[in-house]
Structure 1
Amino acid sequence: MSVSNDKIPTNLPILDSKNYDKWHKQMKVLFGYQDVLDMITDGITPLGKEATTAQEAKFKKKDYKALFLIHSWVDSDNFEKVGDCDSAKTTWGILEKAYAGADKAKVVRLQTHKRQLELLQMEDKETINDYVTRVTRLGNQMKSCGEAVSEQNFVSKVLRSLTPRFDNIVVAIEE
């Protein structure tokens, strides 16, 4: 990840209608790195009567920083949804509802991923590493839909679906 002098990454993906899960994960890491994760989870909480103007300004600046980070990595359609929001938490919530909140869509995606995993087979000229990457990618997509698949199930799937040239290795592993 390339980082400019102000320590803000310059090559994060722009949120569009197809990459919310990856964008969401990367943005949460960025918020943590920039020390503004609390702005999207808790929002601006009252500091109390004893807070100084400087403390309030510093807190508000953190919120603006988180808001800036969100605005920087959304496409124009998503910006239209959140451009008028005045807090990072509100902005983040709108995007979560638009993409992650659609439970019915998640169920459909999960069923699609499960079916893809069932049908997945190693291709003749594919390396084991490439094949395991494909299986892992499907597992991560299932996880993002709320389904946890055990490592044992993944190993079993890989062993069952290797090409015949690996039969002797599979037998040795199983024994």
Structure 2
Amino acid sequence: MRAETVVTDRRWRAGSTRRPHGRHRRLLVSIVGLAALLLAAQPAPAQTEAAWADVELGSGSFTAFRVPSPAITSCTFNPNVVGLLSSYTVVYTIPAGYTINYAYSSSAAFTSPTVISPTSTSGTTTVTSTFSLGLLGGLLGSNVYVGARLTLPSTSWSSPYRLVNGTSNALGTSGNCAIVP
């Protein structure tokens, strides 16, 4: 004889492939509950006040400062006996409060000039500078570009160089000094 099994749980029947999921549901409910407790234990972020609009308006303008270049008022060639110690004298007009710096180059491009310190006589706004050709420059003749620029003291701000072109013949008996535009 065969006994029949009466099933009171409708979810499972003998011979059925379905199995009760009560344990799984209890585990899932426990995990969700634990996650809710952990999230509730976190403090809420602090409130902040942020203003992203302001009713005040402002406007302004500015101009960049530019160091002025020295003005060249004259340039003269000074010959000497057989070219010994021939020189150029250049007179500059500069605004008060600036330092004047000099350099020379054999090229009008003046890309890598050699800085020099000539003999200068300074008036209030007039500077007279003498540039010697040296012994060989006076004897052999020369073609040199001399530049002057102004620097604002206690800064590295400088004006562009203003140039003169000095030429002399062999033996330095004659020459010319011209302001480069």
Compare the two structures and name the one with the higher helix fraction: 1
Return the TM-score normalized by structure 2: 0.20
Please say which structure displays the higher CA radius of gyration: 2
Return the TM-score normalized by structure 1: 0.20
Which structure is higher in RCO with an 8 Å CA cutoff and minimum separation 6?
2
